[in-house]
């Protein structure tokens, strides 16, 4: 939710405003498709060796901080020595024909659905270049049109603990901005979008490059930056599931805020300002001057 604030004044609930620029809408849907394909093909690649390590080296006999495997007829995931049974979901499961498979992630979560490491890598690398190109173009466009400074820049007063707590409380109570206040990103949105655009996406691209032998020869400093190929692989996996977590929170917020209006704004760019709702008596905390929600 939130949006790239266009210069419009005198707005009232029910007004239709220009919410997302074409560049944002194209990037949003390109990312949605690209990240889905990369996640599913990445899970197939992970199936080839379903363990994660820290450092330069990793093999079955080395200590793995994450393992998804099976022991006999029991599937499990083990994180930092803590094991949880996942039979039927992870480690050991049945395919669409009822045949038992012993791989980390099931067929419905991977591209391709049947085990094919070479095909998975082709899918993954192809869409990785699309992701990198789209992110670069979006960043340059956002800097050029002022979107980063105008809409994502966190003002000094927004860092106030009281202001942040107020936003957290409002979201926990499912009270979203209405009327003209719905035009702008709130502090939680700014932090999450900055985290995705400037941290998670660059991290997943750079760690992906670090795992490439060709890039190791061209840019050996990447191995030093991330502490080795296995550490880069672990960070790549963590960043990927950070994006998955963001996706689920994002979808939940869209549904709760009004999915038709939200999705329409990301397709057409136009958004109808929600009507104001009267708060319950005594439920709204008073903020110091300048700390608008």
CA distance 64 to 220: 24
| 156 and 235 in a common domain | yes
pLDDT class of 186 with cuts at 50, 70, 90: confident
Scan for tokens 């979901």, then name that residue.
89
Residue 108 lies in a domain: no
pLDDT tens-place string over residues 61-72:
889 999 999 998
Mean pLDDT of 163-169: 91
Whole-angstrom distance, CA of residue 47 vs CA of residue 115: 8
Q: 113-130: per-residue pLDDT in tens?
A: 999 999 999 999 999 999
Q: Which of 15-24, 39-48, 237-246 has the lowest mean pLDDT?
A: 15-24
Residues 66 and 142 occupy one common structural domain: no
Distance between CA atoms of 65 and 82, rounded to whole angstroms? Answer: 10
Both 180 and 236 in one domain: the answer is: yes
Domain boundary among 73, 102, 131: 102
Residue 16 lies in a domain: yes
SS3 145: helix
Average pLDDT score over the chain: 86
Tell me the residue range of the domain where 63 lies. 51-102
Name the range with the highest mean pLDDT among 76-80, 179-183, 215-219: 76-80
- The backbone region for 211, taken as left when phi is positive above 0, alpha when psi lies in -120 to 50, beta otherwise, is alpha
DSSP 50-117: -EE-SSS---TTS--SEEEEEETTEEEEEETTEEEE-TTTSSSEE-TTS-EE-SSS-GGGSSSSS--H
pLDDT class of 199 with cuts at 50, 70, 90:
very high
Distance CA 244, CA 39 (A): 9
Higher pLDDT among residues 95 and 185, named by residue = 95
Number of folded domains that form the chain: 2
Both 19 and 38 in one domain: the answer is: yes
pLDDT tier for residue 292 given thresholds of 50, 70 and 90:
very low
pLDDT tier at 276 (50, 70, 90 boundaries)? Answer: low
Residue recorded with tokens 């270049």: 129
Q: What pLDDT was estimated at residue 180?
A: 66
DSSP at 280: P
| Pair 286, 162: CB distance under 8 Å | no
Q: Residue 287 has what pLDDT?
A: 47
Confidence at residue 19, expressed as pLDDT on a 0 to 100 scale: 78
CATH number at residue 271: 1.20.950.20
Is residue 111, in this structure, part of any structural domain at all? no
Tell whether the model's pLDDT for residue 283 goes beyond 50.
no
Same domain, 61 and 36: no
Lowest mean pLDDT of 45-59, 89-103, 137-151, name the range: 137-151
- Residue 10 confidence (pLDDT): 61
Q: Based on the fold, state whether residues 82 and 98 are members of the same structural domain.
A: yes
Q: Is residue 107 included in any domain, yes or no?
A: no
Helix residue ranges per DSSP H, the chain: 22-47, 117-145, 147, 161-172, 187-195, 201-210, 213-218, 221-226, 229-257, 259-268
List, for residues 23-46, the tens digit of each pLDDT value.
889 989 999 999 999 999 999 999
**80-119: per-residue pLDDT in tens?**
999 999 999 999 999 988 999 999 999 999 999 999 999 9
Residue 40 has what pLDDT? 97
Please compute Rg for the chain using Cα positions. 22
- Identify whether 148 is part of a domain: yes
The first and second tokens of residue 180, run together, are 């003209």
The helix/strand count (H/E) of the chain reads as: 10, 8
Residues 224 and 241 placed together within one structural domain of the fold:
yes
Say which residues have a Cβ less than 8 Å from residue 162's Cβ, sequence separation at least 6: 285, 287, 288, 291
Predicted pLDDT of residue 241? 95
């Amino acid at each position: 939710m939130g949006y790239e604030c266009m210069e419009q004044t005198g707005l009232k609930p029910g007004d239709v405003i220009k919410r997302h620029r074409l560049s944002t809408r194209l990037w949003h849907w390109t990312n949605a498709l690209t990240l889905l394909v990369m996640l599913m093909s990445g899970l197939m690649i992970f199936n080839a060796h379903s363990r994660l390590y820290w450092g330069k080296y990793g093999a079955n006999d080395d200590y793995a901080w994450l393992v998804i495997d099976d022991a006999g007829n029991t599937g499990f995931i083990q994180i930092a020595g803590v094991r949880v049974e996942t039979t039927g979901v992870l480690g050991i499961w049945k395919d669409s024909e009822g045949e038992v498979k012993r791989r980390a992630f099931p067929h419905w979560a991977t591209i391709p659905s049947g085990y094919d490491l070479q095909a998975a890598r082709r899918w993954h690398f192809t869409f990785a270049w699309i992701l990198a190109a789209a992110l670069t173009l979006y960043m340059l466009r956002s800097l050029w049109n002022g979107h980063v400074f105008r809409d994502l820049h966190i003002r000094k007063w927004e860092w106030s603990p009281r202001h942040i707590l107020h936003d957290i409380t409002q979201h926990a109570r499912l009270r979203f901005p209405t009327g003209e206040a719905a035009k702008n990103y709130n502090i939680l949105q700014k932090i999450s979008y900055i985290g995705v655009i400037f941290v998670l996406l660059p991290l997943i691209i750079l760690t992906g490059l670090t795992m490439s032998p060709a890039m190791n020869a061209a840019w050996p400093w990447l191995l030093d930056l991330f502490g080795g190929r296995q550490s880069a692989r672990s960070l790549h996996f963590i960043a990927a599931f950070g994006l998955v977590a963001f996706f689920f929170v994002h979808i939940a917020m869209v549904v709760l805020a009004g999915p038709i209006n939200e999705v329409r704004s990301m397709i057409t760019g136009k958004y109808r300002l929600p009507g104001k709702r009267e708060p319950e008596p005594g439920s709204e905390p008073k903020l110091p001057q300048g700390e608008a929600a």
